[in-house]
Amino acid sequence: LGQTFQVTSQEATKLSLAFSRPPLPSAEDCRKLSEDVQNAILAVATVYYWLPKGQGTTLRKMVRDATTEVVEGMIQLTDTILNAPEESLSQEQLISTGGVWEACEQVSNLPRGEYNQAAVVSALAACLGVVKDAVEEMEHALVEGQDPYGDIMEDEELGFRGNRDTYWSEADRQLLSSCMGLMKASKACLKKVLAAVKAHGKADSPEQIAQLDDLADIANEISPSVDELALSMYPPVNPLAVRLNAAKLASVLKKVLEIAKASHVCPPSEEGWVQFLTGAVDHNMNKVKNFTQGQL
């Protein structure tokens, strides 16, 4: 795969240089350039299709995304050259050429060694980064006395800064503290699962590969669930909407913990944090239910 990406990068350079200054290539040269580009792209696609599905869906998706980026980059470069005025090197052509180079360099970021285990580690780490950012953003907004819309200019839709719909009441803050507990549990959950996959994850058998893929699939649901909960936490707060989104997130977290516990990445030494985090999710969800019971 690395070789085919490198050849594609070189063909993009040749194609771009051929149309960077006069005289333009002859019809025969254009035919040869086109053949070389097509062969390079076919080689990239062929190597992707050679990847056995049994090696894991997480790995396969990463390779597919990298391959698609290369193919789309080359299409964009070709379109740019075809649509550019004759005998001129446009800024768009330079950007498109750099885009192909960048896409081809992504092969160096693809997993190595225990391929699917490394792919799942990469996927979990990406999820953790997004959730960390969401937690920090909400913590910052919840600072006592802070206006969550302070960075937005006053306008007709939001009204004046004194509009109570732009601030949290004390009751809102009590409810949101439990939601923050769930968001922090999400971060802890991903952190622990990531560490367990790094320490114990294997891809030696179809069963182990499938278990890793299941973990990656369910972990991918955490970030959107955290985002939905966070959005519903901004004023004016609808307690029932908050409760619904909190329940969705709690359900996803419980599923992650169940799948982790049943998999090979969770030997007896790891069961303590699974139990602790399951309790933390239940505790915070019960508090959310108590705060919103009167709204039902």
The alpha helices in 21-166, defined as continuous H runs, are: 27-50, 57-83, 91-105, 115-141
Question: Is residue 155 scored above 70 in pLDDT?
Answer: no
Tell me the backbone φ, ψ of residue 90, rounded to 5 degrees: -85, 160
For the chain, give the mean pLDDT: 89
This prediction's pTM: 0.74
Length of the chain: 296
pLDDT-based confidence at 161, cuts 50/70/90?
very low
Instruction: Convert 217-237 into a string of H (helix), E (strand) and C (coil).
Output: HHHCCHHHHHHHHHHHCCCCC
Residues 105 and 221 placed together within one structural domain of the fold? no
- CATH code, 68: 1.20.1420.10
Residues 74 and 163 placed together within one structural domain of the fold? no
d(CA 163, CA 156): 12
Averaged pLDDT for residues 252-280: 95
For the chain, how many helices (H) and strands (E)? 10, 0
Dig out the tokens for 99 from the structure.
């885009």
Question: Is residue 114 scored above 70 in pLDDT?
Answer: no
The structural domain count of the chain equals 2
Domain end: 85, 109, 133, which one?
109
pLDDT-based confidence at 104, cuts 50/70/90?
very high
Residues 93 and 121 placed together within one structural domain of the fold? no
Evaluate the CA torsion angle 161, 164, 170, 175 in order and state its sign: negative
Longest dimension (CA), the chain: 78
Q: Which residues have CB under 8 Å from 162's CB, separation 6+?
A: none
Residue 261 contacts residue 267 (beta carbons within 8 Å): no
Residues 26 and 141 placed together within one structural domain of the fold? no
Residues 270 and 163 placed together within one structural domain of the fold? yes
Domain end: 109, 141, 159, which one?
109
Residue 116 contacts residue 100 (beta carbons within 8 Å): no
Residues 129-151: pLDDT tens digits? 999 999 999 988 887 555 566 55
- CATH code, 285: 1.20.1410.10
Residues 85 and 139 placed together within one structural domain of the fold? no
- Torsion, Cα of 36, 41, 43, 46 (10° steps): -150
Residues 75 and 143 placed together within one structural domain of the fold? no
Residues 75 and 148 placed together within one structural domain of the fold? no
Domain end: 48, 83, 109, which one?
109
- pLDDT, residue 143, reads 78
Residues 27 and 160 placed together within one structural domain of the fold? no
- pLDDT, residue 154, reads 52
Residues 44 and 135 placed together within one structural domain of the fold? no
Residue 276 contacts residue 184 (beta carbons within 8 Å): no
Residues 100 and 78 placed together within one structural domain of the fold? yes
pLDDT-based confidence at 21, cuts 50/70/90?
confident
Q: Give the domain extent around 25.
A: 1-109
Residues 12 and 155 placed together within one structural domain of the fold? no
Question: Is residue 196 scored above 60 in pLDDT?
Answer: yes
Which residue has better confidence, 90 or 264? 264
Residues 65-100: pLDDT tens digits? 999 999 999 999 999 988 887 666 788 889 999 999
